[in-house]
Amino acid sequence: MTTVSRRKFLSRIGAGTALLSVPSITSLSSDFFQGEKKLNIALVGLGYYSEFKLATALQETKHCQLAGIVTGTAAKAEKWKKQYNLSEKNIYNYQTFDRIADNKAIDVVYVALPNSMHHEFVIRAAKAGKHVICEKPMAVSVKECQEMIDACNKAKVKLAIGYRLHSEPYTQEAMRVGQQQVFGKVKIVESSMGFKIGDPTQWRLKKSMAGGGAMMDVGVYAIQAARYSTGEEPLYVTAQEFKTDPVKFKEVDETIFWQLEFPSGAVANSQTTYASSMERLFISAENGWLELRPAFGYGPIKGRTSQGELNLPNVNHQAMQMDDFALCLKENRESPVNGEEGLKDLKVVEAIYKAIATGGKVKI
């Protein structure tokens, strides 16, 4: 959509025809449609990611802003209220959260809770009539993902997964090179994402909270990357699990390698771990290659191809991601990282766990 057509679209909305011509949009503050006011976001869960990535990014966004919070910790509520000058009526805890349905000052709920809570809070947000951004992994099972998609469809709200990299220039270049066959057909993708996990008491190491280990947490980046590098959905997977520290990783997976086969014949070899550092995307095509390294962190992403260094803008991933979602809502477009996108990754995750359990090749 060009700038001109977007302006036309917005003027149509402004003329009061919005709810007829754009039936799936509900409960956006009407100011937002004037293109003057920003979309109002409430963050659910005030852990590290909300505090140091989302809240800070929301100081840089053009189309959205921090308007509310949902937290179980009264002291955090107090601190954030002061720091961001939040209105008392936009502050909720997990018990009062559903009342957000009555709050016209909140357009979007951003769920940044531990993995196992995504399902519940996305569905509650949808039932409250709010659009939702849900952190990755979307949920801990395909079944949960489908229920979340269904709930958002039923409530006519839009859902996006916190895949910030789809708004990031180096990642977009990787997609272009792979999907448009800039160096010919993609033959092999290597993708790795892992880090050495710290505090052994954190929720990421508890199966009930995280749903899985490195695979769930950062392995999804490597799955995503193989999918967007080829532009295809994988058909088959084999996988191997290793534990170099069986004590620390009693409940969840530590290190997993997996191999994906795509319809075109392209194959991916990917890895995730909580044991040590790794972070890379490599697309090897018939006549050249593209490499991002670092590839999946908060930036700066760096990249090069067989033709030389890539020099693309370094952006605030989270700010770009939230602004992109705001524009999707303005323009009544589906997010490119919608619930289906999150579900597709969980389908691969479940197939990987099955391949580990059976020791064989699994059809996805």
Interface residue list for a copy of itself (CB under 8 A):
185, 187-188, 190, 192, 194, 196, 238, 240, 242-245, 255, 257, 259, 261, 265-267, 269, 271, 273, 275-278, 280, 282, 284-289, 306, 359-361
Q: Is 221 a catalytic residue?
A: yes
Shortest distance (Å) from residue 313 CB to a copy of itself: 24
Q: Are 273 and 194 in contact (CB under 8 A)?
A: yes
Tell me if residue 76 is catalytic. Answer: no
Q: Report in angstroms how near the CB of residue 287 gets to a copy of itself at its nearest.
A: 8
Q: Which is nearer to a copy of itself, 151 or 222 (CB)?
A: 222
Among residues 137 and 294, whose Cβ is nearest to a copy of itself? Answer: 294
Neighbours of 179 (CB within 10 A): 14
CB of 333 to a copy of itself, least distance (A): 35
- Shortest Å, Cβ 243 to a copy of itself: 8
In sequence order, what are the residues at sequence separation of 6 or more whose Cβ sits closer than 8 angstroms to the Cβ of residue 211? 115, 116, 137, 139, 140, 141
Question: CB–CB of 27/106 below 8 Å?
Answer: no
**Which position among 136, 330, 344, 347 bears the catalytic label?**
136
Report the 10 Å Cβ neighbour count for 182.
Answer: 17
CA distance 296 to 301: 7
The distance from CA 33 to its chain's CA centroid, rounded to whole angstroms, is 25
CB nearer to a copy of itself: pick between 82 and 196: 196
Q: Which among 45, 156, 173, 203 has a CA at the least distance from the CA of 109? A: 45
Instruction: Residue 57: name the closest of 236, 321, 276 by CA.
Output: 321
CB 274 within 8 Å of CB 194: yes
Q: At what angle do helices 220-230 and 339-358 cross, to 10 degrees?
A: 110
Nearer to a copy of itself, 162 or 294 (CB): 294
Minimum Å gap between C-beta 298 and a copy of itself is 17
Closer CB to a copy of itself, 12 or 302, in the complex: 302
Q: Which residue numbers are catalytic?
A: 136, 221
